[in-house]
Structure 1
Amino acid sequence: MICHSCHQETLKGKFCSNCGAALIQEEITTEAIPSSTTTTSIQTIETETPQENKSKEILESMKEEVFAFGRFFIQILKNPSKAKNLNSKHWISGLIMFILFALFNALSNYLTLTNSFFRISFMDGFLIPFIQLLALFGVIAALTFIGLKIGEKSPSFLEILAKVGAYLIPFFVLFIISILLTLIGLNFAASMLMLTLIGPLLLIPTFIILEQPNLKLDRIYILIGIYILALIISSLIYQSPLLGGFSPF
């Protein structure tokens, strides 16, 4: 082996036989240097581990939200009045209820039209009704929030979102029952179906406003204002050329 100090050939050992310099450092350095393959694999592990951990965290979070929504749905279905006790931490479950209701409504609309004599595209039959109903639920939440602000109450918008989603659950179940009765051919099922769409627009703001104590402005006036604005805005949503002008009412 070659000594790094005098650059002369020497026997293996701890010290150079020519100049006496230590040879331990060379052995340590040589043994300590990993192969290129090992270095690459270490770098790969270091770069992949945070990504895998992040993916697992996202999956775990999604699973927790699904289970939370299941508990939320069953609890409110058993006792809808408990919706008044919800707060902002339930807003994701409320939003899921918005999406679920709009999704089922749009799907039933699309299947009904495609099974009839109408020729309708997926955009007009499914996507547009889905967006329209989702927008309508957003309007209900926004108007209720504004009504409480006028009454000098200050709940967060996320709390209102959670409560509107919770109060949608009975109407959603009624919607599913109406669809099943329609398939059987019962005539009154159409009226029930209409109630599931108009009911949330008028009744959900009423439930939330009436549960609030000591509003500065009389509840009746707040509700009348909400009803008028809700009907005007919903009419604009369903008659807008941008959204196909389709109305379920």
Structure 2
Amino acid sequence: MSTILELKNITAGYEGIPVLKEVNLAIKEQDFIGIIGPNGGGKTTLLKVILGLLKPFSGDIHYYVSKTNLFGYLPQNSQFDRRFPISVREVVMSGLMSEKKLYRYYSRQDRIKADKLLIKYGMGDYSKAPIGELSGGQMQRVFLCRAIISSPRILILDEPTTYVDSNFEKEFYTILKELNKTLSIVMVSHDLGTICSYVKTIACVNHGLHYHQSNLISTEQLQSYNCPIELISHGPVPHRVLTDHSDKNCNCNKS
């Protein structure tokens, strides 16, 4: 698959204090990268660098496609004020703002496009409802529609299932699997047991970035890598658990 975006030797942080050091990461077409790591390890900082919201102290960001409508972004549900007076349809159409001039109104085509997405993801009956009246799962469906309405090449997700129930969580990952056929996905999550069933690769971020390729890692591979990864089984689905990367002899893809 062709590379869409690449970070090379990125060091980034705030007020002169680095949070990420010498990070390398390539995002390719139809990638599904799960980003895990401890709080304060730099996961959110990495997303900000990828999205162009934070200028790194050093290193380079290479774009191999047009930056127009490159990203769709689904933030944590808790970042939205439910009291904000806006309808479900308007929330979805706000994902087209980068294509609009400030003085332009939404067109009929914009409304049709938003309504088609809402219908596709089971929210067609709520297009005129205030966004604050929705449940957590319903709200995430709406925000997902907002994130993809501009047909981005890369979908960025920050803890997308934190405030939803288990039934919607399974449905949500099924939706992501279908979307991954046409776009790349980068997702931050603490839920290792679930994301490892869906992502294609995992990046562990703890001030540096340790990138573990492949969908499944065998015991033999672990021994040959001398890398602190532990395999566990949950029913018929194999999961991966990444532990402390303090071992200097780790031979996994370290950036």
TM-score by length of 1: 0.22
Q: Greater relative contact order (Cα 8 A, min sep 6): structure 1 or 2?
A: 2
Larger radius of gyration: 1
Instruction: Name the structure where strand makes up a greater proportion of residues.
Output: 2
